[in-house]
Structure 1
Amino acid sequence: MNDTLTNWAGNITFGAERFSAPTSVEELQELVARSRAVRPLGTGHSFNAIADTSGDLVSTARLPRVLDIDRRAGTVTVSGGTRFGEIAGVLHEAGYALHNLGSLPHISIAGACATGTHGSGDGNGTIASAVRAVEYVSASGELVTTQRGGEHFAGSVVALGALGIVTTLTLDLVPAFDIRQWVYEGLAVSTLRDTFDEVMSAAYSVSLFTRWQGDLIDQIWLKRRADAREPAPARWLGAVRADGPRHPVPGMPADSCTPQLGLPGPSPFRLPHFRLEHTPSSGAELQSEYFVAREDAVAAFDALHAVRDAFAPHLRVGEIRSVAADDLWLSPAYQRDSVAYHFTWLPDAGSVTKALRVIEDALAPFAARPHWGKLFTTEPDALRGLHPCHDRFARLMTARDPAGVFRNDFIARHFPS
């Protein structure tokens, strides 16, 4: 490529020979069929080299936009390159919503599903868990559709872009609902340890933000259904309700965040932490995340707390969320209700790498699964042991793409042939 292209964070410079953004599915099929190496690029919000390639880097953002609501089936079919924020209002006006959304409405739907991205909530699975069908262009240029209940469906959703380039996804819908959002500050760590389940189940979606300093959880974001009857007292478990809007990253203006203070609004404009029209999070950052089984959450918290001095100086903020189990082969929440420990880092790759080794050592007893789209140093053999369907997926990948058209260094490292 003549022009340098990077991911959203700027820590990855793509090495592709060409960058393409086809304007039709037929053009995409022809491109893939003649390519020796190709990878899909969503909105570039991955922090590792999962999307990189030495061949063709392909965006689906310019494919014809699809947004087809099937009221009878209770589903929506959308083009994979669509961002969540671009469909939110349309779904709400039609009386529907997605069950779960990530922190950012800026990311593409296909990219989020391919990497197991999620929001929070004890009853809320990953975004990919709502997928009912996926259509993609295979290595031969063929258009393939797989549906829930099919033999290989569970391996074709969180698929890391290794089976093909997703053109459309069909997702389950729920009736539209409103959310009220409150922020509480200053929960004692000792209280969290004693009431962890109570805290994480206190709302439809709960996020804990901590800089892993001192003995307090900095913020608790409670996103409650507007029709729920739970009160929002001035004090709760010793934490104090915020008297104004807050940003999870210290020092950042809160006007980039979704409305708080209990102001009701449609779920797609409350479940994400950030507004579509603003730069998400802090902008200059790196990210990592690890999933542990729900029953290990407190012990994992204690293990991280014990080594916090080794990683907290390099951290902007950490987030703790809960994720319901699913049956998708490579999902970080595969077959276990999970708690995810997220880390938003200062943009210092060397320090972050050292911090990750400390964190991964601390979480090793809990079989912590890293988020596929974020930074981790977990060795391939260890990663294979963390995912029960690792080998099954590798066989599916080989069968669907025997020439390795969609394989890149990232895929080859973690799924060696």
Structure 2
Amino acid sequence: MKTTSMIVTGGLVVPFSACGRQVLPGLVEDPGTRQNWAGNYTYQAERLYRPGTVEEVQELVLELGKQKALGSRHCFNNIADSPGSQITTSGLNRMLSVDEANMTVTVEAGARYGDFAEELHDRGYALHNLASLPHITVAGACATGTHGSGVENGNLATAVVSFDLVRPDGELVTIDRQHPDFPAVVVGLGAFGIVTRMTLEVQPTFEVRQHIYNNLPLTSVVDHFDTIMSAGYSVSLFTDWLDGNVSEVWIKRRTDRHAEELGGEYYGALAATENMHPIAGLSTEAVSDQMGRPGPWYDRLPHFRMGFTPSAGEELQSEYFVPRENAVEAILAIEALADEVNPLLLISEIRTIAADGLWMSPAYQRDSVALHFTWKQQEPEVLALLPKIEETLAPFAVRPHWGKLFTINAATLRQRYPKLDDFVTLAKRYDPEEKFHNTYLDNRVW
């Protein structure tokens, strides 16, 4: 094996030549039946590889034909599947370094946020935001535009400063914010290669108080939406779309920015007297601590805690993004479908996400509101209902979360993503032999 390196405009390229050995590194001889996290999808890839080094990833990418990276398996569709092989990044899961001068942290692509967040906090730093659960990998979350919440907080990929990508020819290239391809590749849907490490912006660590209010009248949401969603650093509304109210309001406030108390009543909702789970009847053992008790960012911004099954576990998920200016109209449109939505629903969540400039981000060039649906695991019935939800939200140029269930086709999405054609052209230039192509890209993007 021989490698050399050279500097090119916008990044570091490391050409790679494989040894030509017959047994490739990291082959899982008996991978068993591979399913995603929720168990609703069984992967069709014939082989699974678990490399332990970047060099092994390079060798695999060069030698294999059709292939796809596999992260924490939290996607609910076939975005991470391949007709050939899967390469899991679970062996690349370390926090590598903290650059105090440039305020960044570098982690391997297979690291889950919960794997390094506490250590990052102990060293005095924090990420700007986290998703609902810390169980997901950094590379997978960024590649699908996964997000947290907050009117001023962009999705998780907006924290990326640079990343290392193994291209289809085995070359390792570093792409940073100055690289012309950065806005396309950072939310790349797995179409460009396999990410091996990422460098993220950090800030001084902070603490968060989490306040829960029950039974917020829908009329308050209609009349005061922007004020309610701006009440904290991160705000979530949980609803089953019944009874004309929002079941729970989760307000997460930074202690260094919000010193004042919210009180026992909030726009008609009453403060909870004990920790709450978003889904009624489930144990609160798995949720992050509430009742206004301060705690570190990594233990309050997610809804769920590492080491426990997040949400319901046995579930399906869909999520749709509309412009924030249309939030109330969209909420009322879904509320009108309550009789059809509720029987299949575990819970819905409504959150805000700031606009960004990442081509395939659902919040591309528009401040957004996400309407999230956690469904019972009744997939035929859910898939039959999704087109009606999507048609109802179509007047708002709705965009789906790439890693969850949706039925909107590529032709329609092309109208809603101004840079989609440019994204496809660039992906084909990176991967002319379509090593990283799969059915998902055919149906949703190409």
TM above 0.5: yes
Q: Is the 8 A contact 2:121 2:296 kept in 1?
A: yes
Hey, what's the Cα distance between the residues in 2 that align with 1:251 and 1:415?
A: 39
- CA-CA distance at 1:414 after TM superposition: 2.3
Return the offset for 1:232: 2.3
Instruction: Tell me the CA shift for residue 241 of structure 1.
Output: 0.3
**Equivalent residue, structure 1, for 2:61:** 32
SS at match of 2:355: coil
Q: Which position in structure 2 is the counterpart of 1:394?
A: 424
Asked if 1:247 is matched to 2:277, the reply is yes
Which residue in 2 is equivalent to 1:172?
A: 201
1:344 maps to which residue?
374
Counterpart secondary structure, 1:51: coil
Task: Provide the residue aligned with 2:353 in structure 1.
Answer: 323
Structure 1: any 5+ residue segments left out of the alignment? none
**CA shift at 1:408, angstroms?**
0.6
Equivalent residue, structure 1, for 2:413: 383
* 1:131-171 residue CA offsets vs partner (Å, 9 max, x unmatched): 01011111011101110021110001000111011100111
Q: CA–CA distance in 2 between the matches of 1:248 and 1:68?
A: 35
Q: Does 1:99 align with 2:128?
A: yes
Distance (Å, rounded) in 1 between the aligned partners of 2:405 and 2:290: 30
Q: What residue in structure 2 maps to residue 6 of structure 1? A: 35
Q: Residue 324 of structure 1 contacts residue 337 of structure 1 at CA under 8 Å; is this kept in 2?
A: yes
Give the TM-score taking structure 2 as reference length: 0.92
Deviation at 1:379, TM superposition (A): 1.6
Q: How far apart, CA to CA, are the structure 2 residues paired with 1:309 and 1:341?
A: 17
The answer as to whether partners of 2:152 and 2:353 remain within 8 angstroms in 1 is yes
Whole-angstrom CA distance in 1 between matches of 2:61 and 2:311: 34
- Distance, in Å, in 1 between the alignment partners of 2:221 and 2:444 is 36
Aligned with 2:222 (options 177, 184, 193)? 193
The Cα of 1:255 is off from its aligned counterpart by: 1.1
Structure 2: stretches of 5+ with no match in the other structure? 1-29
What SS class does the counterpart of residue 79 from structure 2 fall into? helix
* Identical amino acids, percent of aligned pairs: 49
Residue 311 of structure 1 and its aligned partner are, at CA, apart by 1.4
Of 336, 352, 358, which aligns to 2:388? 358
The amino acid of 2:337's aligned partner reads V
Separation (CA, whole Å) in 2 of partners of 1:88 and 1:24: 22
Name the CA distance, whole Å, in 1 between partners of 2:94 and 2:247. Answer: 41
Letter in 2 for 1:367: A
How high is the TM-score relative to the length of structure 1? 0.98
Amino acid at match of 2:375: W
| Matched letter for residue 318 of structure 1 | S
Q: What is the match of residue 412 of structure 1?
A: 442
Matches within 5 A, 1:135-284: 135-227=164-256, 228-284=258-314
The answer to whether the 8 A contact 1:80-1:110 is kept is yes
- Contact 1:307–1:358 at 8 Å: present in 2 too? no
Tell me if the contact between 1:311 and 1:358 (Cα under 8 Å) persists in the aligned partners: no
In structure 2, give the amino acid aligned to 1:41.
L
Deviations 1:321-345 (A, max 9, x none): 0000010000000010000000000
Q: Displaced runs of 4+ in structure 1, greater than 4 A?
A: none
| Deviation for aligned residue 1:191 | 1.1
SS at match of 1:195: helix
SS in 2 for 1:167: strand
Deviation string for 1:100-146 (max 9, x for gaps)?
A: 10000000010000000001000100000010101111101110111
Question: Is 1:23–1:64's contact at 8 Å kept on the other side of the alignment?
Answer: no
Q: CA deviation at 1:2?
A: 5.6
| Structure number with larger C-alpha Rg | 2
Q: Do the aligned partners of 2:212 and 2:251 also contact (CA within 8 Å) in 1?
A: yes
CA distance in structure 2 between the aligned counterparts of 1:355 and 1:125, rounded to whole angstroms: 29
Structure 1 position 15 matched with structure 2 position 44: yes
Residue identity matched to 2:265: R
What is the CA–CA distance in structure 2 between the aligned matches of 1:308 and 1:81, rounded to whole Å? 39
Kindly provide the amino acid, as one letter, of the partner of residue 370 in structure 1: P
Distance 2:274 2:149 in 1: 23
Residue 214 of structure 1: CA displacement?
A: 1.1
Aligned residues: 416
2:112 to 63, 83, 92: 83
Once residues 299 and 429 of structure 2 are traced to their aligned partners in structure 1, the CA distance between those partners, rounded to angstroms, is 41
| Number of the residue aligned with 2:3 | none
Q: CA deviation at 1:3?
A: 1.2
The alignment yields a C-alpha RMSD, in angstroms, of 0.9
2-structure distance, mates of 1:328, 1:157:
7
Q: 2:15 is matched with which residue?
A: none
Q: How many angstroms does 1:25 deviate by?
A: 1.0
- Paired with 1:372 and 1:414, the residues of 2 have a C-alpha distance of 9
